[in-house]
């Protein structure tokens, strides 16, 4: 696994990735990963490696390795990005109001450990899930650790 994919490696032994500088993140991440994770970019729809996967396991933050979502909460929302109805625990993600689209406020989802952009969460879309939430997450923001279903 190269350094850009290894969530445990970093440019130096900083204990809190939430305090890394842009230069340190640029050493760890590919330019595309940096654009999405550190600059709140979005990968194009239907191209991410986890959009259609059904592999059981834990989805981790690609930047810091924090456990974020379990595959049992992933569902096919036909939106072009991986969709989950719940994070592993409420403290795994944090929410920020995103007013970047005029007249269409959204809720941005970030990793609670390192502050990296993951995607957005939408409510009330009518999906048949336990929460009626759709965490629309960029594949490039995640790594999948295969494992058994919960």
Express each pLDDT in 119-135 by its tens digit. 999 999 999 999 999 99
Residue 71: helix, strand or coil by DSSP?
helix
pLDDT in tens, 50-100: 999 999 999 999 999 999 999 999 999 999 999 999 999 999 999 999 888
pLDDT score at 114: 94
Q: Are 44 and 81 in contact (CB under 8 A)?
A: no
Q: Residue 97: left if φ>0, alpha if ψ -120 to 50, beta else—which one?
A: beta
Residue 28 in tokens: 């760890």
Q: Are 137 and 81 in contact (CB under 8 A)?
A: yes
CA distance 117 to 133: 18
- What Rg do the C-alpha atoms of the chain give, in angstroms? 15
- Residues involved in catalysis: 136
Residue 110 in tokens: 């970030």
Give the long-range contacts of residues 94-100, CB within 8 A, separation 24 or more: 95/121, 98/40, 100/40
pTM: predicted TM-score of the whole model, two decimal places = 0.86
| Domains of the chain, start order | 20-146 (2.170.150.20)
Q: Residue 65: left if φ>0, alpha if ψ -120 to 50, beta else—which one?
A: left
């Amino acid at each position: 696994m190269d350094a850009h994919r290894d969530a445990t490696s970093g440019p130096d032994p900083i204990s809190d990735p939430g305090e890394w500088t842009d230069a340190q993140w640029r050493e760890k991440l590919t330019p595309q990963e940096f654009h999405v994770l550190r600059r709140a970019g979005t990968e194009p729809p239907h191209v991410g490696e986890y959009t259609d996967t059904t592999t059981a396991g834990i989805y981790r933050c690609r930047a810091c390795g924090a456990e974020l979502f379990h595959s049992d909460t992933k569902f096919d929302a036909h939106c072009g990005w991986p969709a989950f109805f719940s994070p592993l625990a409420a403290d795994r993600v944090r929410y920020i109001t995103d007013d970047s689209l005029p007249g269409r406020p959204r809720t941005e989802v970030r990793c609670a450990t390192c502050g990296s952009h993951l995607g957005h969460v939408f409510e009330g879309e009518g999906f048949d899930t336990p929460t009626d939430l759709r965490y629309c997450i960029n594949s490039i923001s995640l790594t999948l650790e295969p494992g058994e279903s919960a």
